Structure 1
């Protein structure tokens, strides 16, 4: 079997996580997002992990993606770039 043409390095939400933080009213820091995610049950989420996600140095699993979308009050579709329409809840 040959190489897959669907191989993705890093993650596809890195830019949108950063943008999602900036679009909050008021904008939130990586530390704020990590605290929010910890409060939502993701005890292992730290500002360093948020930084690594935004720098495309750490993969994001589907459960994390869902929680990040909820924390940023955006859709998962927007977070992964499938939609350009931002829907802040």
Structure 2
């Protein structure tokens, strides 16, 4: 089955992940290490792609990012201010 998207953007959370990461004074490498403690393996290059909206994210990854960045899933999705 082929994934078909209407735009070049592969996720809607990328800019918010970057905002939360910087607010927590984390590098992409440090964020990757924190995610690893939750058994979620996203390397630094993939975090960069995620922040640029060039990488699809799974629900498990979304939950882990929410936890390590101390923000809600709703905020990452743009449903909350």
TM-score exceeds 0.5: yes
- Aligned residue number for residue 41 of structure 1: 39
Aligned partner of 1:29 among 27, 30, 48: 27
Partner of 1:73: 70
Counterpart position of 2:3: none
Which structure: larger Rg? 1
TM-score, normalized by length of structure 2? 0.86
Contiguous gaps of at least 5 residues in structure 2? 1-5
Query: What TM-score, normalized to structure 1?
Result: 0.79
Give the length in aligned residue pairs: 76
Aligned-residue CA RMSD in angstroms? 1.5
Q: Measure the CA separation in 1 of the matches of 2:42 and 2:59.
A: 14
Tell me which stretches of 4 or more aligned residues in structure 1 moved more than 2 Å.
Answer: none
Q: Which has the higher contact order (CA 8 A, sep 6+)?
A: 2
Larger helix fraction of residues: 2
